[in-house]
A = this chain, B = another copy of it.
Amino acid sequence: MYLCGIMEKFDVHILGCGSALPTTRHSSSSQVVNLRDKLYMIDCGEGTQLQFRKAKLKFSRLNHIFISHLHGDHCFGLLGLISTLNLLGRTAELHIYSPKGLEELLKPMLSFFCRQITFEVCFHEFDTKKADVIYEDRSLVVSSIPLKHRMPCCGFLFAEKQLPNHIKRDMVDFYKVPVFELNRIKNGADYITPEGETIPNSILTTPSESPRKYAYCSDTIYHPVIVEQVKGVDLLFHESTFLTGEIGRAKETFHSTAAQAAHIARMAEVKRLLIGHFSARYEDDSLFYDEAAAIFPDTILAKEMLCIPV
């Protein structure tokens, strides 16, 4: 029962925020979204299983993995992760959402390396050309965000569903509302007393918090088309592989600069911007922050083991 206004957990864990070349400073791409203790992984570069352990997350809570695109630094950790889940005796299905091609690549490896696998790995392909709902459950909708990279690639929009209203305990007691009416009332119904009097819902409840949204956009060239889809999100992760000094290289490799990430955040009027996917050529991450924050002040620098409430 939602009797008070405590926000449900909705966190983003950064497991890796480096780019193609993993270094001792940054691991390959991977994040975990924790929504009410269900874990959703986004990308799974080499070493992700270890970062997952370091973040003290639980394998048993992880059932869905979203892969943005089939570059090694975003998916080389899948084999090791699946092997480990198998060794741990997992039985629950594991669902992997990705652009076309992953299943064909992984299946022969899984058949060889996880011969006696104890659970099913279910591959789901999404079309990278259109924004689409690719996953939905009771509390969450995940949509793809078509990006522009050297190969088919999508970001992901994690949109919490509207929560039921909060019951005002004192009003419910005052009108002697029976328990079996509570669910209807939480979902917006008025209450009719045994005497036939209508008690409007607004007297019995307070509205729940607005549903929160997290958008993950990596890897992509500067691509303002996405602004519409990420409009007003609570937290936007946007890749920031380069600084403006390397804008030519950014274009050439279909990546973005910190300034470009900030421009997207500003145009989309997001609440906060999180930047990562830093190129190994830069030793000092604060340069990314400085460049982005000059354009969009509410910028956060990704860092391994950082946990950000959405």
> Which residue numbers of A lie inside 8 Å of B, CB to CB?
20-24, 27-28, 46-47, 49-50, 53-54, 70-73, 76-77, 79-80, 83-84, 87-88, 101, 105, 108-109, 112-113
Contacts of A20 in B (CB 8 A): 83, 87
Q: Is B21 a contact partner of A77 (Cβ separation < 8 A)?
A: no
* In contact, A109 and B113 (Cβ under 8 angstroms): no
Q: Which residues of B contact A112 (CB under 8 A)?
A: 70, 101, 105
- As for how many copies of this chain the complex holds, the number is 2
Q: Please judge, given known A-B contacts A71-B113, A72-B83, whether A24 and B53 are in contact too, CB under 8 Å.
A: yes
Q: In the assembled complex, how far is the CB of residue A195 from the closest CB belonging to chain B, in whole angstroms?
A: 64
A46-B46, A46-B47, A46-B49 known; A22+B80 contact, CB < 8 A: yes
Residues of B within 8 A of A77 (CB): 46
Given A79-B76, A105-B112, A113-B71; A22-B46 close (CB under 8 Å): no
CB pair A50–B47 under 8 Å, yes or no, is yes
Q: In the complex the two chains form, what is the Cα distance from A103 to B124 in whole Å?
A: 28
CB distance from A86 to the nearest CB of B (A): 10
Q: List 10 A-B contacts (CB under 8 A).
A: A21-B84, A21-B87, A23-B50, A24-B54, A46-B49, A70-B112, A76-B83, A101-B112, A105-B112, A109-B109
A46 with B105: CB separation less than 8 A? no
Query: Which B residues are in CB contact (< 8 Å) with A53?
Result: 23-24
Q: In the bound complex, what is the Cα–Cα distance between A24 and B54 (angstroms)?
A: 6
Contact B72 A113 (CB under 8 A): yes
Residues of B within 8 A of A28 (CB): 80
From B54, B84, B108, A108 is in contact (CB under 8 Å) with B108
Contact B76 A80 (CB under 8 A): yes
Q: How far is the CB of A139 from chain B (nearest CB, A)?
A: 31
**For A108, what are the chain B residues with a Cβ–Cβ distance below 8 Å?**
105, 108
A46 touches B80 (CB 8 A): yes
Return A53 CB to nearest CB of chain B, in Å: 6
Which chain B residues border A70 with CB–CB below 8 Å?
112-113
A190 to chain B, nearest CB (A): 54
Residue of B nearest to A18 (CB): B50
With A109-B109, A112-B105 known to touch, is A50 a contact of B22 (CB < 8 Å)?
A: yes
CB distance from A16 to the nearest CB of B (A): 11
In the bound assembly, the distance between CA atoms of A27 and B49 in angstroms comes to 11
The residue of chain B having its C-beta at the shortest distance from the C-beta of A111 within the complex is B105
The distance in angstroms between the C-alpha atoms of A113 and B77, with both chains bound, is 14
